[in-house]
Chains A and B, each alone.
Chain A
């Protein structure tokens, strides 16, 4: 939930007065010193990040540890985040962005050195960066020896299922096949998303790197999905509709997200997720600072706060989303670690990173073919 913000006329006048003073001081200081605006540290960090990454309890902790307020704009999608960064003025409009690492990596770096839309991170201001798990160190984005993005939150997509209807120990349950097999026809839901569904179908069909499908493989996956569509009760596209489908009993299993599992369990349902033997889809979301942000120092502090152990524990407890800090695992019992998925490396769970295909347009076309079949 966002913090309440009610502006009175006095607030508006105060903001205008403050802006005028800040602007004048900035102009004067910049003229004299050529440096950063004097009142930058008083400004809140204007951020774009998924709302579930900053529930109230986490917000309070982060703001305390970073000694700055965080004001997050509504998060729409990685595409929208990039659009807002790349639009004119985008590199100074926001101070911090957190979005899906593989999707934003190339656009924010640009084609070559010097094209970056983001500022290099000063790791001396992010001492908690050393705590990042080995599993996500490849998601630390660098170029020419400079770090531009750090993974701060991670998660996984899997099958969320009702354990009262579907036995957990069944080999079908512990695979992506539960979304496709005829056994649960009429009681499954797919996500209306080309990327996730084609990846899972590719994994289920035994393709080792489904993000790099050839044209013939894509055709094979499309045919498979079209054939299995008859087993699908419906497709969901929002969090609310997905959770409603499970909680009403309309579906017993669906492609799902971590917080869906948490929401359904909070309502007393015997719902859990599987650990697909073909490969759990894992992802990380990275934090980066637009290159012309006037509040970069505070943004560094916020990133550092996200990698703090206490913040990681709180976020995992509130939303089940872990941060990429390796230290939070120790804060939970073995049973909780297993439930949250913090022990996937120890357990040897096969994982597949949620990579984005180069031919996403073909995937979208394929998915439309499936939907219209």
Chain B
């Protein structure tokens, strides 16, 4: 009987060698610093405005003289600011709804294809290519020829739809182009009529994209200034109120108003992203 000897040569595990320490990448630190500086540059002014909105000082600027929410009370107690906020929100929703509807119908047409499609595409995208001030002048002349006086739900609404439509179309068209025709054909094969295919098949599938587009267009419309300035009359939108406050007077409540505006605009964009992501997940 052989005994296992202490000296039996069990296969020894290979001498463990420690994994070499990963070489420190000097560029990683540089990238981190660059990114940090980039984000500071991008968001630093917004952070400072938010800080100043709580500043007790009557003057917009440093030094910080103490914390207060007084300026927010001032904002909410000013009827002209609240009116402008209402105007901006209602314009945003209306122009978003109109632009989304137009873009949806255009997208369906582009999906089918038609003569002159490229020309129409160029015309739809033209407002993006034109500088804002040129767009404003064009609209001023256009309404002048038609004899239409400045008005919030006439000239300004048209200007906003004109501005947001290209963005809405580009977003929605991509989604519609990716829609599988087999679903519609299957529905038709099962006896669904055209309007039923649209209502029960197409719309439910792209609903998240429609909502996301509506919210994006709301944000765009809410922030629109330069074209509005050319065609607005007595009514005011938030960007116009801001501009008047800066050029004509000193308004210490301006940072507070800015924070509220950024929050509304950001909320619209974030909701849009959320619906857009949900749409992608649902259809992947």
Residues of chain A whose beta carbon lies under 8 Å from any beta carbon of chain B: 1-7, 12, 44, 46, 50-52, 71-74, 76, 83-84, 87-90, 92-93, 238-241, 243-244, 247-248, 259, 263, 267
Contact = CB atoms under 8 A, between A and B. Distances in A.
Interface of B: 58-62, 78-80, 82-83, 86-87, 137, 140-141, 143-150, 152-153, 229-230, 232-236, 240, 243-251, 254
Contacts of A44: 234
A321 B152 CA distance: 31
B232 A74 contact: yes
B60 A240 contact: yes
Contact of A5 (B235, B243, B250): B235
A259 B86 CA distance: 30
B178 to A, nearest CB: 37
Contact of B244 (A51, A244, A259): A51
Nearest to B245: A240
A132 to B, nearest CB: 25
Nearest to A243: B250
Given A2-B236, A7-B235, A243-B59, 6 more contacts: A5-B87, A73-B233, A76-B229, A93-B144, A240-B251, A244-B250
A267 to B, nearest CB: 6
Given A239-B249, A244-B59, A1 B144 contact: no
Contact of B150 (A4, A73, A248): A73
Residue from B86, B148, B236, B250 with most neighbouring chain A CB atoms (10 Å):
B250
A267 B250 CA distance: 11
Given A2-B234, A4-B79, A46-B234, A93 B149 contact: yes
A51 to B, nearest CB: 5
A239 B83 contact: no
A244 B60 contact: yes
B84 to A, nearest CB: 8
Contacts of A92: 147
B250 A263 contact: yes
Contacts of B79: 4
A51 B146 CA distance: 28
A309 B16 CA distance: 100
A244 B55 CA distance: 14
B250 A93 contact: no
Contacts of B243: 74
A221 B78 CA distance: 46
A241 B232 CA distance: 25
List the 3 closest pairs (A to B, CB-CB), nearest first: A89-B144, A71-B234, A4-B79
B75 to A, nearest CB: 13
A74 B244 contact: yes
Given A12-B153, A87-B140, A244 B61 contact: yes
B59 A1 contact: no
A248 B252 CA distance: 13
B246 A238 contact: yes
A247 B59 contact: yes
Given A239-B246, A263-B249, A74 B229 contact: yes
Contacts of B248: 50-52, 239
B152 A7 contact: yes
Nearest to B251: A240
Given A72-B234, A239-B248, A263-B250, A90 B59 contact: no
A52 B248 CA distance: 7
Contacts of B83: 4-6
Contacts of B229: 74, 76
B89 to A, nearest CB: 11
Most buried by A among B149, B234, B246: B234
B233 A71 contact: yes
A1 B253 CA distance: 13
Contact of B250 (A50, A74, A239): A239
A239 B247 contact: yes
Given A3-B80, A239-B246, A88 B145 contact: yes
A84 B148 CA distance: 13
Given A46-B149, A87-B144, A90-B144, A240 B234 contact: no
A90 B246 CA distance: 27
- Residue among A50, A248, A259 with max Cβ neighbours from chain B (10 Å): A248
A7 B249 contact: no
B155 to A, nearest CB: 10
B31 to A, nearest CB: 35
A89 B147 contact: yes
Contacts of A87: 137, 140-141, 144
A48 to B, nearest CB: 10
B237 to A, nearest CB: 10
Contacts of A73: 150, 232-234
A284 to B, nearest CB: 19
A3 B234 CA distance: 9
Contact of B59 (A72, A88, A89, A248): A248
Contacts of B60: 240, 244
Nearest to B82: A4
Contacts of B86: 6
A1 B145 contact: no
Contacts of B140: 83-84, 87
A209 to B, nearest CB: 30
B170 to A, nearest CB: 31
Contacts of A93: 143-144, 149-150
Contacts of A71: 233-234
B201 to A, nearest CB: 33
Contacts of B150: 46, 73, 93
Nearest to A55: B249
22 contacts: A2-B80, A2-B244, A4-B83, A7-B153, A46-B149, A51-B244, A51-B248, A72-B234, A73-B234, A74-B243, A83-B137, A83-B140, A84-B230, A89-B144, A90-B144, A239-B248, A240-B247, A244-B60, A244-B250, A247-B58, A259-B249, A267-B58
